[in-house]
Chains A and B, each alone.
Chain A
Amino acid sequence: MRDFKENSPEKEPKIKAWIDLPSFTPWLVLILSLFATFIGWYIIRENQVSQEKARFEAEVFEHVLAIKHRMESYEQVLLAGVAFVDASNTVDRGEWRTFANNLHVQGLFPGTLGYGYAIFVPHEKVVAHEALMQAEGFPGYRIHPIDENLTPSAIIFLEPLNDRNKKAIGYNMFKEPNRLAAMTRAIETGNAALSGRVTLVQENKGPVQAGTLMYLPVYQKGALLKTVEDRRAAIIGFVYAPLRMGDLMQGVLGKYEHFIDLHIFDGESTAEADLMYDSDGIIVHDKTPEFHQQKVVEISGRKWNLVFKNSENFTATVDTSKQWLIAIGGILVSLLLFGFVRELALLQNRAVALARQMTSDLLASESQANAVLETALDGIITISEQGLIQSFNPAAETLFGYPTDEVLGQNVNMLMPEPYSSNHDGYLFNFLNTGHRKIIGSGREVIGRRKDGSTFPMKLAVSQDKANQRFVGIVSDITAEKTADAQKELFVSTVSHELRTPITAISGMLKLLLGVFASQLPPKAIEMLQKADNNCNRLIRLINDILDMEKIAAGKMPFHMKVYDLVKLTQQAIEDNQGYADKAGITLMFQKTLPERAFAVIDSDRFAQLMANLISNAVKFSPKDQPVEISLSVLGGDIRIGVQDHGPGIPEDFHDKIFQRFAQADKGDTRKPGGTGLGLAICQMIVEKFAGKINFQTAMAVGTTFFVTLPATESSADPLA
């Protein structure tokens, strides 16, 4: 079937998804998302780290300053001592003691093991010095160790003079290389000098701490100190303090003790041998610290390597919550996104698959529908609301003799002969605008016109496809039936004519004999003629009945259905049949009280025929002097007409055959002549056409009543009769 819109059902349906996502998209999304999370986490972490680093470095900066300040304050303390010595003419032990105590050296300057004064004693004065010292209360006092090449020095004062410090009195620090170096530096620079790492002499109980000594030079009063030589010449001694690093640095980190790990190395080294101070007591940690800063500072001319590292506690305080929040949040979001995108992709896949399936199902069903159109024997034509042919199936092509492409887009009236052709547009227009149907819905017999101009009868059924704004017509060629019908009609017509012609003559002759020549005929002849006449009449009725039945059955009997007053028509029927009844000596009685209104839609001629049949039957089967009663009543929405006789009744075994053709009850001699055997069959046909019912009540030896029930009409139209 070639439709007006081209279809190609062979091609695979191209289904385009809204967004064509490749199948790895969810994974891609996941990876990107995780990557983004990672970057976010990393950035925050870096941020965090740099923040912490800055914090750390700030702390370190503070601590370095603090250490410097602390050491400077110790210089000050020694300077006080130098000033004291300088200010005095002589300094004796007692004064020194008082001075040291006033300074609260121990209390204010932790780590200070003593506050001491050492002097140079020239070789030649050593013996005298020793004697003096021994006399002061130091039995066995000797300057030791002595180097022949160097001017000996001796610690003469050292407060507090505890057991530990006592041992140091007389010690020549100038011999020991570390101390020598510092002392020399002090002499030469005139400034405080810190020695390298030492193990302090005093140390003999308690944990060993690293130590150092700070020296401040004491020069001759008023001496010139411009040059190094000047200073060398002018040196008399030192104010010095042995410092124990552990105590010295105690609390230097303050509240940050737990967060920062400080190692102080002598010099620029980081060797364990040079370790002077370790804030947490652990020299080497397992864990590598996050932050690490090294600062080499000069303390009193000595380089110290301050190595700051963050402790585990430091990192513990670092707020990593943000990072983990981002990380966890990011991971969750990534997973969600992944899940979501995957669902999306899955849904889309399903949708696409479904669409494909539906399309292929649709195409399959379409091709099935197409197959119907292609193979149907009836022509199927669709037209637009303008009457233009949209589709034309193969059967239609055969029927009308046109190939489809010659009719598509043409007006359908090309398939009709005049006058229908010219009127069709009008009919179509009319229907669309008023809904007035000329052909829609029913199957109508119309004339079609072929390509060669010939016409043929066809049955046409048209329906409206409102959704698609078109009409669908199914057309079948009924030429054959028409021919058959025509033939049958011709046959019936011919037969009726052929039968009636001789019977007219016979009947006419008989009636004339009886009517004109009766007086000239013997009674017996008249009797015989009468019988012949009766039979002739019967024959005529039979022929009429047969032809009537044929007509009704073929739908050829016209039924002009209109509203009639059945009371009047029944009255008329009784009058019409009165003659016949009189001849039989039967009285026809119509019901006395009749309903006011008994309208029905019927055909008056056929009603008359129906009543004639029923009445004549009743008369036939009525014994003489018994009446036939005709009743008429309205029950509910129905009109009921009854025709009652007081005859023998209808036997039981005949009840179901009574309306059949040529069925007659009596087989015996009580056979009543005159019936055709078709009367009730015809009655039934007529009643059915009236949309009514016919039935009977009977009782043997009592009588029979035939009832015709017809639907009453409420029509306000005036009845025609």
Chain B
Amino acid sequence: MRELKKILYAEDEPDIRSVAEMALEMVGEFTLKSCENGQEAVNAVADFQPDLILLDVMMPVMTGPSALLAIRKIPGFEHTPVVFMTAKVQPQEIAEYKKMGVLEVIPKPFDPMALAGNLRRVWEKHNG
């Protein structure tokens, strides 16, 4: 199984984005492409070719779920693992996201020291 290398990340809150960036680059040592909203993430997919996509749910311009749907339409990325992060963790919503094909929903606040490990687990589960 290939290692998880490239992660595409979208989050509109700058400070949270900084925390996640540090968690993924410094702690997780991933190659990260960071975006401000869903639309940017969709645009970056083809060029960046991520292994895994981490999206915040509530974002302006395009939300996480909308971005997911759009990404799925990109050829070659129909099955790329997608993980959501959100402060709103209604179980019904989580179920909805899972139905959409999201592999995991990470609640906010998140532990930045555990983030990399969580994503790796998801990756392994997805590929195993």
Contacts and interface: CB of A to CB of B under 8 A. Distances in A.
B45 to A, nearest CB: 25
B86 to A, nearest CB: 8
A504 B27 contact: no
A496 B16 CA distance: 16
Contacts of A507: 109, 111
A508 B110 contact: yes
Interface in B73-110: 87-88, 90-92, 108-110
Nearest to B90: A493
B22 A504 contact: no
Contacts of B26: 512, 516
B21 to A, nearest CB: 10
B36 to A, nearest CB: 15
Contacts of B111: 507, 511
B19 interface: yes
A697 B108 CA distance: 37
Nearest to B89: A496
A605 B113 CA distance: 25
A512 B108 contact: no
A29 to B, nearest CB: 85
B68 to A, nearest CB: 19
Contact of A497 (B19, B20, B58): B58
Given A508-B20, A512-B22, A515-B113, A501 B92 contact: no
Contacts of B124: none
Given A505-B15, A505-B19, A496 B87 contact: yes
B19 A509 contact: yes
Contacts of A511: 111-113
A496 B13 CA distance: 15
A493 B88 CA distance: 7
Given A504-B19, A505-B13, A516 B109 contact: no
A558 interface: yes
Contact of B23 (A502, A512, A558): A512
B54 to A, nearest CB: 14
B15 A509 contact: yes
A500 interface: yes
Contacts of A493: 88, 90
Contacts of B58: 497
Given A497-B58, A501-B13, A558-B92, A508 B87 contact: no
Given A504-B110, A558-B92, A512 B87 contact: no
B109 A508 contact: yes
Interface string B5-42: 00000000101101110110011000000000000000
Nearest to A537: B109
Interface residues of A, number: 20
A558 B108 contact: no
Contacts of B20: 508
Nearest to B22: A512
Contacts of B15: 502, 505, 508-509
Contact of A496 (B22, B23, B88): B88
A508 B13 contact: no
A500 B27 contact: no
B112 A515 contact: yes
A508 B88 contact: no
A368 to B, nearest CB: 47
Nearest to B58: A497
Contacts of B112: 508, 511-512, 515
B22 A501 contact: no
Interface in A479-534: 493, 496-497, 500-505, 507-509, 511-512, 515-516
Contact of B109 (A512, A515, A540): A540
Nearest to A497: B87
Given A504-B108, A540-B109, A558 B91 contact: yes
B84 to A, nearest CB: 14
Nearest to B86: A497
A504 B87 contact: yes
Contacts of B27: 512, 515-516
A605 B15 CA distance: 31
A511 B113 CA distance: 7
Contacts of A501: 13, 16, 87, 108
B85 to A, nearest CB: 9
A504 B92 contact: no
B19 A508 contact: yes
A516 B24 CA distance: 12
A509 B27 CA distance: 13
Nearest to A514: B113
A493 B89 CA distance: 9
27 contacts: A496-B88, A497-B58, A497-B88, A500-B109, A501-B16, A501-B108, A502-B15, A503-B109, A504-B16, A504-B108, A505-B19, A507-B109, A507-B111, A508-B23, A509-B15, A511-B111, A511-B112, A511-B113, A512-B23, A512-B26, A512-B27, A512-B112, A512-B113, A515-B112, A515-B113, A516-B27, A558-B91
Interface of B: 13, 15-16, 18-20, 22-23, 26-27, 58, 87-88, 90-92, 108-113
Interface of A: 493, 496-497, 500-505, 507-509, 511-512, 515-516, 536, 540, 558, 605
Given A505-B18, A512-B112, 16 more contacts: A496-B87, A497-B87, A500-B87, A500-B109, A501-B87, A501-B108, A503-B109, A504-B19, A508-B110, A508-B112, A509-B15, A509-B18, A511-B112, A512-B22, A536-B109, A605-B91
